[in-house]
Each structure stands twice: as C-alpha cells, then as structure tokens.
C-alpha cells in the first residue's frame, strides 16, 4: 500500500463517520487550540510589557515614599529630587511628580475640568513624553514660580480647537496662566491618559493649588532615568544612600522604596503566568484524553475490520504492513484533529484580541509545535491498536464475522 | 500465464522431480480439556507440480485445517511441510508473508474482497505487499488488468464488490490470487456460495489455469465439483481415508488406500 492510498482510505473512513471522527478528535482539537492560544497569549503579554517599558521610559527608576505618619512631615519632597539630580552619577534626568485634583480650565467661554500634574523640567526626557509645540518649563520657571502651563494634546484640542494655544492666557482654577507648550500625543500608559491632562511647575502647584501646608513640598513619586542599563544598579545604590542621608534614616530601615520597571512588571507577568500555566494543563490533559479517544476508536476499528486484516495477511501482508496501516490511520485521525484545532486556536486568538479580553500575538512556530504534538499523540496512542491488529491470528481473523 | 521466474533456487535443478507439496506426519492437536482434539492426525501427502487435487470430507474432517497449514496460515503441532522443497516450519514471519504473497494464491468461499476497494484495487493488493521484485505503479496496474481480463472481467475494473454478482466477485478473487503468478492455488470451497451456473464458470476457469500449469488444491464437500479435479483425497477425523486419481466425470474410479 502506498502512503497516498492509506491516507485516502483513512480519509474515506473519516468522512463515512463524520460525527464519530469529530467526537474522537475533540480532545486533540481542544489540546492543539490550547497550545496555540497559550503561546499567543504569552507572546501578547510580552508585547504588552515591551510596549509598557517603552511608554514608561527606558531604564526608569521609580522612587516612592512609604506611607508617612499623620502629623509628621512628608517623607519624599521636592528637595529630594533636587538633591538626587545634583549628587547621583550615571543618571540622565530626575523628574518629581505630584498629582492635583481635577481643576477647571477655562479659555474664552470654553471650560471643563481636567487632571493636572505638577512636575519638573526633566519630565519629557525621563518619562519619554516628547513635546509637540512650544517649550516645556525650565528650572528657572520653577525657581521663579512662573505661572506657565503645558497642555496635553486632547486638552488643547478641546480648549482651543484649531487656534494656536501658545502664549494664550488661560484660567486654571482661579489662577491665570500662560500656555507655553503642547505635548505630543502619547496616549494611555497603564491607567494614565497623558493627553488628557495639563502640566504645571511643581513649585507653582505648591504655591497656588495646595491648601494644606502640610502637603507643601511633598511629591508622590520621583522618577530617575539611568543613562543605560549598566549604570542602573550603581544609580539605585547612590539614590538610596542620598535619600537615607536626606531623611536621616538607615538603609536597613528606609522610609522610601526604590523600584525599577522590572519589579513592577513582574507582578503583571505573574498574572499571565498563571493563565499560561492553566492553559498548558488544559492542553496536556486534552491531548491525553484525545489520545485515549483515538486509541479507543482505533481498537473499535481493528475489531470491525478483523476480517479485512485476515484477508490482507492471507495475501501476503507482513505484520509490519498491517501495523503501519493502522498507525497511519491513527495519525491521520489525530492530524485531522490537529488541523481543526489549529483553526480553532487561530480563531480563538483572533477573538481574544477582538473582544479585548487579552492581547494575543500568533507565533508561527506554535502552529508547527501544535501540529507536531497531534502527530505524536497519533503515533503514541495508535501504536497499541496497530500492534494488536498486526498480531491477530490470520485464521481467527478470516473466520471473524 | 504461469512463469517460473519466482521459483526458489532450491528446486531449480530438478523442478519437476521435487513435489510442490510434501507433508509428513502432519498433526494439529487442540488441547480442549479432557480429550485432545486431533484436527489433523499424522497426515502424509505428496502433490506434484501441475496436479489438480480436490480434498473432500465432512465438516470436522480436518480438510480446512490441512488447507490452512498448506497456506502457511496455521502451524502444525507436529510434522513437516515442504513447499517446493523448502521446509515451511523453519521460516520466520517475514518469509511466511512472502510465501503467501508470491508462491500461494488463496480463493475463499466468501470471496473475501475488501468492500471499499474497486475490483482493480483488490487485485493490485498482493503486488503492493510484495517485498521483492517490486514493480512500478504502471506495471502493477497493467498486470492487474491482465489478470482481470484473463477471468473475463476486463469491463468491471472499477466496480466495487457490492456492484458485482457472486460469480464475478469470485473471479475477481481468482484474479487477485493469480496476480503475483504463484505456483500453487489454494481454493477453499470456491463454489460454496455460488449458483450452479456461476459454479460451472469458476470450475472452468480453474481447469483452464490447471492446464496452463498451475497446481491447484481445492477443498470441497460437493462431489460433482470434486469431479473437475484429477485427484480426489477423502478425509475423515483428521486422517486421509482415500486418495484416488479420478477420470473426469466418473465418480467410481477411485483408488482406495
């Protein structure tokens, strides 16, 4: 028998028992689909993380205060950022950030509320948020507490439409401020929409917008950008000792946390890892169950075709010929399941993306891997029924009704 | 259509003097509990090349068991079997498969064609299983078509068994048995499932093949069918009770042992 003839015969058998074939291969279908989906989800998560790293800014060091004791002075302050910028070597910039509750912004008779961020001149560099038009505020602006403002692209669009906003006077809360620049569109990073907020000098925020004197000088986060991945560790060490000195605490018992993006991303990775592990188990169990299904149906097939086997042996088929025939049929059955599973996996990955449940990226080699897995299942679970067929007693087989 | 091209080297020097079949003290014993059942009881027999032998007997006489042993489908418990001078009992699984494939052709009572294959595909099967002297796909098809034409089915190549009459199916089976040009044809009740007209056709084909030099051993329980053979062996209780060269058409001319 040539390969093509065996494939043709097996295919005919499959079509003859459509429902049976489908149910038999359902396990393989689910297993193969799970393999493809699992790898697509992993790749999607990696792509999302890579995007986030780029969006946050490369080689970013994130400094936050541990929760301060009420009534005591805040633990992370603007002066810390100045000190870090001055003392730490191997960093290209330091940006301090303090959020402000939504403020009313008004130009002419257009007005709405917008989030605002008080920050320092290195913000565009450190957070990789480039400027669109105009300029960002300088250290001089901070030192003189100049009432200047930089707008997000969406705020600009909503407030000015097609008018050039630079040098226009607007009202933020009750403070009259001059627009000096507009940020380039950046979109959302994590939960923050960079385009739908305004940026003001940190010192202006303290002077004009903070009622609570206790909060004065306080910053939520200080970001520092290392010059390169290599200077990262040394920069972190310096940051810690500078801050410990500033705060009068020991390194063993600090009142601040220094993190990198990796630390933060690891948490997210853990979530996708859990999902991936789950899918890997689904794939493994499905392939096992699918394999047993194929073994079962092949045993049925061997029994149904006992007489055929007897005839084949009587005209000169060797045991290995019979074994090969049934093994091939099992493999074709599971490859058929593999093929349907591939379609289901690719479709599932597409659907996940489409409904926005999870980002997926189809990895070409995963299709090959899943297909190979289905072939292995066919060979492994087809071997026993095929050997049973090959070892049939020809006389018994010929007598079989 | 018979050719000696696949004969074994052993019987080459004196092919005619070596019997095609020689069995000595052949026994097949089934251990059924209290009394062992002797399906074959020390059977000895020579069949010369070119003979047409009918083996007769009631069911349980051992004729089918003898047939299965001669066809290398069953192993005797005791005794020896030489096919064309080679001892079959000493062959391994592969050699036995090759024996069934190229040196023996089988014809069954129930035809035993594969229902999903066409007549042509059925006839081609033995060539496909051939290990030695493999031939190209075109040659296979040519040989199979020639075999089907020789049994008068040149116009039924692409019919499936269920589209053919019983007599036609048996003729396909004969073509399948002949396609590898075996030296021995084993027929187990070849007309058992056929009407008298089809039976007559099948017997004519077998006689024609015998005249062309094919050795035929046929199991039957119908004496009129057996009369087509040149030699009739009667069996009972696993033993040969008579072995006679019959003149065709004359039931009574037997030589009793």
Smallest Cα–Cα separation from B8: which of B208, B183, B257?
Answer: B183
Token output for A4: 């093509």
Contact yes or no for A318 and B131 at CB 8 A:
yes
Mean pLDDT, all residues of chain A: 86
- Per-residue pLDDT of A165-202, as tens digits, reads 999 999 998 899 999 999 999 887 766 888 999 999 99
The pairing of strands B104-107 and B86-87 is unpaired
- The CA distance from A283 to the nearest CA of chain B, in Å, is 36
Nearest-CA distance A307 → chain B (Å): 8
Select from A307, A314, A317, A398 the residue whose CB has the most chain B CBs within 10 Å, as the one to mutate to test that interface.
Answer: A314
Q: What is the mean pLDDT of residues B137-147?
A: 91
| Interface contact A318-B125, CB threshold 8 A | no
Cβ neighbours of A2 in B, within 8 Å: 128, 137
pLDDT, mean of residues A9-22 = 75
Gap between the Cα atoms of B207 and A395, Å rounded: 27
User: In terms of C-beta density within 10 A (0-12 exposed, 13-18 middle, 19 or more buried), how is residue A201 classed?
Assistant: buried
Residues A314, B106: C-beta atoms closer than 8 Å = yes
Instruction: Report which DSSP code applies to A214.
Output: G
Any B CB within 8 A of A319 CB:
yes
Place of tokens 């000096």: A180
Interface of B with A (CB under 8 A): 68, 71, 73-74, 93-94, 97-98, 100-102, 106, 108, 112-114, 116, 121, 125-126, 128-131, 137, 176-177, 180
Cβ-contact B140, B134 below 8 angstroms: no
Q: pLDDT band for position B163 (50/70/90)?
A: very high
Instruction: Select from A2, A12, A317 the Cβ nearest to the Cβ of B97.
Output: A317
Question: Is the model's pLDDT at A12 over the cut of 80?
Answer: no
Average pLDDT of every residue of chain B:
86
User: What is the percent of chain B with per-residue pLDDT over 90, rounded to a whole number?
Assistant: 67
Which of the pair, B149 or A43, is modelled with greater confidence?
A: B149
Given a contact cutoff of 8 angstroms between Cβ atoms, the answer to whether B82 and B20 are in contact is: no
pLDDT, mean of residues B42-55: 94
* Sequence-separated (6 or more) residues with CB below 8 Å from residue B52: B206, B207, B210, B215, B216, B218, B228, B229, B230, B231
Residue in B117, B238, B164 with CA at minimum distance from that of residue A315? B117
Query: B59 vs A214, which has greater pLDDT?
Result: B59
Give the pLDDT score at A96.
92
Per-residue pLDDT averaged across A280-308, rounded? 90
What is the chain B residue with the closest CA to A13? B116
Between CA B29 and CA B31, with CA B30 as vertex, the angle to 5 degrees is 115
Closest residue in A to B123 (Cα) is A315
What's the length of chain B? 257
Residue A42 vs residue B236, higher pLDDT: B236
pLDDT in tens, B96-127: 999 999 999 999 999 999 988 899 999 999 99
> Which residues in chain A have Cβ-Cβ distances shorter than 8 Å to B108?
398
Q: Give the mutation candidate from B69, B72, B97, B123 for the A interface (greatest A CB count, under 10 A).
A: B97
Predicted confidence (pLDDT) per residue in A122-171, tens digit: 999 888 888 999 999 999 999 999 999 999 999 999 999 888 999 999 99
Question: Which is more confidently placed, A388 or A100?
Answer: A388
pLDDT recorded at residue A2: 65
Closest-CA distance of chain A to residue B66, Å:
12
Give B2-25 pLDDT, tens digit per residue.
Answer: 444 444 444 444 455 789 999 999
Report whether pLDDT(B247) > 90: no
B112 Cα to chain A: minimum distance (Å): 6
Give every CB contact of residue B14 below 8 A, 6+ residues apart in sequence: none
> With an 8 Å Cβ cutoff, is A121 touching chain B?
no
Q: Are strands B78-83 and A256-260 parallel, antiparallel or unpaired?
A: unpaired
Please say if the pLDDT value at position B162 is more than 90. Answer: yes
CB contact under 8 A, B129 and A308: no
Once rounded to an integer, what is the mean pLDDT over residues A70-96?
A: 84
Confidence bin at B78 (pLDDT 50/70/90): very high
Q: Does A219 have pLDDT greater than 80?
A: yes
Give the C-alpha separation, A283 to A357, whole Å: 20
Q: Does the distance separating the beta carbons of A315 and B106 come in below 8 Å?
A: yes
Would an 8 Å CB–CB cutoff place A315 in contact with chain B?
yes
pLDDT at residue A72 in the model? 60
* E strand intervals along A33-142: 60-65, 91-107, 110-119, 131-134
Give chain B positions within 8 Å (CB) of A395. 68, 73-74
Domains of chain B: which residue ranges? Answer: 49-75+96-245
The per-residue pLDDT for A260 is 84
- B112/A313 Cβ within 8 A: no
Query: Taking the complete model, does pTM exceed 0.80, yes or no?
Result: no
Top CATH class, B49-75+96-245: alpha beta
pLDDT band at A41 (very low <50, low <70, confident <90, very high): confident
Q: A215 vs A112, which has greater pLDDT?
A: A112
β-pairing, A169-172 with B37-47?
unpaired
Residue A255, phi then psi, degrees to nearest 5: -110, 25
Q: What percentage of residues in chain A have a pLDDT greater than 90? A: 37
- Taking one residue from A and the other from B, the number of pairs with CB-CB distance under 8 angstroms is 62
User: What mean pLDDT is predicted for residues A238-263?
Assistant: 85
Q: Quick one: pLDDT at residue B117?
A: 87
Q: Do B129 and A312 touch (CB under 8 A)?
A: yes
Residue A310 to residue B74, Cβ atoms within 8 A = no
The pLDDT value given to residue B257: 39
B112 and A314 within 8 Å at the Cβ level: the answer is yes
Please report where in the chains the tokens 């049939």 appear, as a residue: A392
Chain A residue closest in CA terms to B132: A316
The percentage of chain A sitting over the pLDDT mark of 70, rounded to a whole number, equals 93
CB B231 within 8 A of CB B21: no
- Tell me if A347 sits within 8 A of A388, measured CB to CB: no
- Measured between CB atoms, which of B68, B93, B102 is closest to A319? B93
Interface test with A, best of B101, B115, B186 (most A CBs within 10 A): B101
Q: Is A39 exposed, middle or buried (0-12, 13-18, 19+ CB in 10 A)?
A: buried
Is there a contact between A314 and B97 if contact means CB atoms under 8 Å apart?
A: no
Q: What is the pLDDT of residues A252-269, one digit of tens each?
A: 888 888 888 777 677 667
Q: Residue A153: its pLDDT value, please?
A: 92
Residue A80 pLDDT > 70, yes or no?
A: yes
The pLDDT of residue B32 is above 90: no
- The answer to whether A316 contacts B176, with C-beta atoms less than 8 Å apart, is no
Cβ A316–B180 below 8 Å, yes or no? yes
Question: Å from A341 to nearest chain B CA?
Answer: 29
């Amino acid at each position: 028998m040539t390969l093509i003839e065996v494939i043709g015969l097996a295919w005919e058998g499959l079509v003859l028992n459509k429902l049976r074939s489908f149910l038999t291969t359902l396990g393989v279908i689910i297993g193969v689909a799970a393999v493809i989906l699992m790898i697509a989800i992993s790749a999607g998560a990696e792509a999302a993380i890579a995007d986030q790293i780029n969006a946050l800014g490369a080689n970013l060091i994130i400094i936050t205060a541990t929760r301060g004791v009420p009534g005591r002075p805040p633990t992370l302050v603007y002066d810390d950022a100045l000190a870090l910028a001055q003392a730490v070597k191997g960093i290209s910039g330091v940006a301090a950030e303090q959020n402000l509750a939504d403020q009313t912004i008004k130009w002419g008779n257009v007005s709405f509320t917008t989030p605002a961020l008080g920050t320092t001149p290195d913000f565009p560099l450190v957070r990789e948020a480039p400027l669109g038009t105009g300029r960002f505020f300088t250290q001089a602006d901070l030192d003189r507490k100049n009432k200047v403002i930089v707008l997000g692209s969406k705020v600009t669009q909503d407030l000015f439409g097609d008018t050039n906003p630079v040098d226009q006077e607007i009202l933020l809360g009750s403070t009259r401020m001059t627009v000096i620049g507009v940020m380039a569109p950046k979109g959302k990073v994590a939960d923050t929409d960079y385009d739908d907020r305004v940026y003001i000098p940190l010192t202006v925020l303290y002077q004009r917008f903070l009622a609570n004197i206790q909060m004065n000088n306080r910053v939520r986060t200080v970001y520092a950008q290392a010059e390169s991945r290599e200077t990262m560790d040394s920069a972190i060490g310096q940051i810690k000792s500078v801050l410990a000195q500033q705060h009068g605490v020991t390194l063993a018992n600090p009142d601040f946390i220094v993190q990198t993006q990796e630390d933060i991303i690891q948490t997210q990775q853990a979530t996708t890892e859990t999902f991936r592990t789950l899918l890997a188990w689904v794939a493994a169990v499905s392939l096992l169950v699918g394999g047993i299904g194929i073994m079962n149906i092949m045993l049925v097939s061997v029994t149904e075709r006992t007489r055929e086997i007897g005839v084949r042996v009587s005209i000169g088929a060797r045991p290995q010929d019979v074994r090969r025939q049934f093994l091939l049929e099992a493999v074709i059955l599971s490859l058929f399941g593999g093929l349907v599973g591939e379609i289901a996996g690719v479709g599932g990955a597409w659907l996940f993306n489409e409904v926005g449940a999870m980002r997926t990226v189809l990895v070409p080699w995963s299709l090959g891997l899943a297909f190979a897995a289905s072939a292995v299942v066919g060979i492994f679970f087809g071997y026993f029924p095929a050997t049973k067929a090959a070892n049939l007693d020809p006389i018994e087989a010929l007598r079989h009704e | 259509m018979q050719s000696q091209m696949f004969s074994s080297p052993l019987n080459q020097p004196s092919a005619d003097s070596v019997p095609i079949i020689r069995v000595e003290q052949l026994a097949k014993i089934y251990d059924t509990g209290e009394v062992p059942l002797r399906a074959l009881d020390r059977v000895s027999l020579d069949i010369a090349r070119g003979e047409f032998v009918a083996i007769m007997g009631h069911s349980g006489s051992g004729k089918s068991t003898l047939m299965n042993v001669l066809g290398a489908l069953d192993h005797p418990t005791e005794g020896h079997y030489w096919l064309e001078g080679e001892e079959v009992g000493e062959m391994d699984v592969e050699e036995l498969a090759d024996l069934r494939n190229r040196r023996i052709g089988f014809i069954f009572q129930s035809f035993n064609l594969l229902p999903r294959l066409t007549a042509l595909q059925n006839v081609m099967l033995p060539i496909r299983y051939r290990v030695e002297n493999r031939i190209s796909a075109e040659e296979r098809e040519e040989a199979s078509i020639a075999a089907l034409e020789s049994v008068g089915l040149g116009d039924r190549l692409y019919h499936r068994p269920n589209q053919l009459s019983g007599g036609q199916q048996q003729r396909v089976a004969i073509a399948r048995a002949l396609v590898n040009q075996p030296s021995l044809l084993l027929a187990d009740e070849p007309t058992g499932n056929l009407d008298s007209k089809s039976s007559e056709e099948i017997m004519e084909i077998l006689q024609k093949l015998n005249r062309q030099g094919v050795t035929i051993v046929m199991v039957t329980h119908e004496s009129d069918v057996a009369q087509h053979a040149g030699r009739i062996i009667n069996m009972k209780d696993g033993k040969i009770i008579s072995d006679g060269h019959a003149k065709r058409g004359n039931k009574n001319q037997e030589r009793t042992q």
